[in-house]
Amino acid sequence: MSAGPGESHAARGADFIAAMTGAGMERPVAEELERRIRIVEEDEAGDEARQPLSGRELGGYVLVTVAICGLSALAVIL
């Protein structure tokens, strides 16, 4: 029987803590780091703040800059 997602995540977390402590990091620090990464990647993964920038957001942002530069260039020309 294959391991479920929960078990696989737990195993990945355990491997991560083992690797970090093996590299000399204090265990409580490695555990806290793993706890936070798990929260970011699982518990808060659906949060609006954890989503990537959409094409629309990126486009709007770049367009504003282009507009500022374009209008300023126009002011120079005129």
For another protein, the binding residues (CB under 8 A) are 12, 16, 19-20, 22-29, 32-34, 36-37, 39-41, 44-54, 57-58, 61-62, 65, 68-69, 72-73, 75-76
4 vs 28, which CB is nearer to another protein? 28
CA within 13 Å, CB half, 49: 3
7 vs 41, which CB is nearer to another protein? 41
User: Cβ 7 to another protein, closest distance in Å?
Assistant: 15
Break the chain down into helix, strand, coil percent, rounded to 5: 80, 0, 20
Query: What SS3 class is residue 62?
Result: helix
User: Cβ 3 to another protein, closest distance in Å?
Assistant: 15
- How far apart CA 38 and CA 68 sit, in angstroms, is 41
